[in-house]
Chain A
Amino acid sequence: SAVISQKPSRDICQRGTSLTIQCQVDSQVTMMFWYRQQPGQSLTLIATANQGSEATYESGFVIDKFPISRPNLTFSTLTVSNMSPEDSSIYLCSVAGTPNYGYTFGSGTRLTVV
């Protein structure tokens, strides 16, 4: 299965600023997924990122707040813009594996907004 390097692993940010999270995959993948996990909660999909096209956002998430880049088949970034304390969460990227391996996740970015 693919190996994902996600960074930063954690950050503490001031409200009103932006943070860009990076995910690097060790193999080419068609789709990458970005999830948010609020404290003590489950994972919620933010958007699906295809290479060469705009990301597809889930209900409740908008591009202006969570812009995503996907410049090639091994890399993607998620930016959390104009942050507020409500954005404090763990953000995870994921890539689709074969059904036999399920999906692989990055190690997550723990974001705290103060």
Chain B
Amino acid sequence: AQTVTQSQPEMSVQEAETVTLSCTYDTSENNYYLFWYKQPPSRQMILVIRQEAYKQQNATENRFSVNFQKAAKSFSLKISDSQLGDTAMYFCAFMKSLNQGAQKLVFGQGTRLTINP
């Protein structure tokens, strides 16, 4: 079974700083997808960024980027120029390849990120 571990329960940075959230996972699969979701107080789950395991290039979405280390099974999220609206719970999630049909997401424990003015 796959497991996802986020070792930082809480983090806090000043506005405009850069912050990195850690995530490690365990799987025997070779093809899979990794995601970072954001959950603000509204509790809506919002997809931040995704990474396909077969791609060596790290995914980037505006201020959000990942450092994907497949051999180390590590998938960290870097938020640059952090903004007050980035305050939220962040969940790392794993999904097996869709070649086997739609798959469930396995979530990490979450990191509560606070951006201070």
Contacts and interface: CB of A to CB of B under 8 A. Distances in A.
B104 A102 contact: no
Which of A37, A90, A104 has the largest number of chain B CB atoms within 10 A?
A37
B44 A102 contact: no
Q: Is the interface of A mostly helix, strand, loop or mixed?
A: strand
Interface of B: 33, 35, 37, 42-45, 47, 50, 52, 91, 95, 98, 101-105, 107-110
A105 B42 CA distance: 13
Closest CB pairs A-B (n = 3): A96-B102, A105-B45, A102-B47
Interface residues of A, number: 24
B43 A103 contact: no
A43 B50 contact: no
Interface of A: 30-31, 33, 37, 41-45, 48, 90, 92, 94, 96, 99-105, 107-108, 110
B50 A42 contact: no
